[in-house]
């Protein structure tokens, strides 16, 4: 009973949950260290930290732009279609901002300058945090009502939590900042996670038959569903990256990472917990 090189019935519950829990612990360490050093679990983009975004249409290369603004807190230079450039700067005082504005107007008269204040960024931080908390609470309540048992509902919530934490840890390691777009992608992962976890839990708890057959059937269906979603998001990532659409590329990157993490947490962590739960129930 092998599919995609992984026989879900071959391993014991302890073997299945070991890797996801280890990665969850490591991701927690990464995010905890970042929290201690920056005040946020992920390095914030200008949406949350405040800063200045400049949109220009110029044939100047990335290196030329970086040299032009070398005296300012330059964060990134994104390239778009039609010689479009999206330049991001970190927070700066009023005098430095005025100097930057004068330089931009002199060098790129048609540029569009948008400033996000640090106070407004902190407001967005709190709103994003509340959105994440309420999403988890709502998910937990719905799952608990649906299955009316603490262990299956807790396994679904744990798998979704592990999806977010491990994905965020990978984001921090590879340098994807926390922005409004990537926050939305993390919230979307909750929906993807619950979808696959509810499929697994429903198949195992509410269908009759042997545990091995139900587990393999759920695994096969779930992998096909997730693979289809992965293909669509991968296509979005390719188009966005080729077109230098930075925010879409970052959202697609987060979703790709999260879906691969969700495969592990659903079919190892959640499946291992449910397998142990059912085997113990049968023994009793």
Top mean-pLDDT range of 15-24, 64-73, 243-252:
15-24
HEC profile for 123-188? HHHHHHHHHHHHHHHHHHHHHHHHHCCHHHHHHHHHHHHHHHHHHHHHHHHHCCCECHHHHHHHHH
CB under 8 Å to 223, separation ≥6 — which residues? 3, 4, 263, 267
- Please state, for a pLDDT cut of 90, what percent of the chain lies above it: 25
- Please state, for a pLDDT cut of 70, what percent of the chain lies above it: 93
Supply the pTM of this predicted model: 0.83
The predicted model gives 91-100 an average pLDDT of 86
Contact status, residue 17 vs residue 273, Cβ threshold 8 Å: yes
pLDDT band at 120 (very low <50, low <70, confident <90, very high): low
Cα separation of the two ends of the chain: 28
Q: Following DSSP, what letter does each residue of 36-69 receive, concatenated?
A: HHHSSSS-B-HHHH-EEEEEEE----HHHHHHHT
Contact status, residue 235 vs residue 145, Cβ threshold 8 Å: no
How far, in Å, CA of 146 to CA of 63, rounded? 56
User: 13 to each of 4, 74, 215, 280, how far by Cα in Å?
Assistant: 19, 49, 13, 11
Q: Tell whether the model's pLDDT for residue 118 goes beyond 70.
A: no
More confident: 258 or 129: 258
pLDDT averaged over every residue in the chain: 85
Note the pLDDT tens digit of each residue in 172-229.
Answer: 999 888 888 888 899 888 888 888 888 888 888 887 878 888 888 888 888 888 889 9
CB under 8 Å to 142, separation ≥6 — which residues? none
In 3D space, the residue among 122, 67, 61 whose CA is nearest the CA of residue 91 turns out to be 122
In 3D space, the residue among 245, 126, 262, 119 whose CA is nearest the CA of residue 183 turns out to be 126
The pLDDT of residue 6? 65
Structure-token match 């198949």, residue found:
203
Q: Tell whether the model's pLDDT for residue 284 goes beyond 70.
A: no
Note the pLDDT tens digit of each residue in 34-66.
Answer: 888 877 788 888 777 778 888 888 888 888 888
CB-neighbour burial class of residue 235 (10 A; exposed 0-12, middle 13-18, buried 19+): exposed
Please tell me what DSSP assigns to residue 111. -
More confident: 26 or 222: 26
The pLDDT of residue 3? 43
């Amino acid at each position: 009973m092998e599919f995609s090189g992984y026989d879900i019935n071959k391993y014991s519950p302890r073997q299945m949950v070991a890797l996801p829990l280890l990665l969850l612990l490591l991701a927690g360490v990464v995010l905890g260290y970042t929290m201690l050093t920056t005040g946020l679990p992920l390095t914030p983009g200008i949406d949350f930290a405040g800063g200045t975004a400049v949109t220009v249409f110029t044939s100047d290369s990335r290196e030329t732009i970086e040299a032009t603004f070398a005296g300012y807190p330059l964060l990134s230079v994104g390239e778009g279609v039609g010689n479009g450039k999206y330049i991001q700067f970190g927070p700066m005082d009023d005098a430095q901002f005025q100097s930057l504005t004068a330089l931009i107007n002199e060098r790129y008269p048609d540029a569009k300058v948008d400033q996000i204040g640090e106070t407004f960024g902190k407001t967005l931080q709190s709103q994003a945090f509340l959105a994440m908390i309420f999403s988890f609470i709502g998910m937990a309540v719905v799952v608990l009502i649906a299955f009316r048992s603490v262990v299956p509902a807790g396994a679904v919530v744990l798998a979704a939590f592990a999806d977010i934490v491990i994905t965020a840890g990978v984001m921090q390691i590879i340098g994807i900042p926390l922005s409004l777009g990537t926050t939305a992608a993390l919230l979307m992962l909750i929906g993807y996670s619950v979808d696959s976890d509810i499929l697994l839990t429903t198949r195992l708890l509410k269908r009759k038959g042997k545990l091995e057959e139900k587990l393999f059937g759920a695994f096969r269906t779930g992998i096909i569903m997730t693979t289809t979603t992965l293909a669509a998001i991968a296509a979005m990532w390719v188009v966005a990256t080729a077109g230098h659409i930075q925010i879409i590329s970052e959202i697609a990157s987060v979703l790709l990472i999260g879906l691969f993490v969700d495969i592990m947490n659903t079919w190892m962590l959640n499946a291992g917990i449910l397998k142990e739960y059912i085997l113990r129930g049968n023994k009793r």
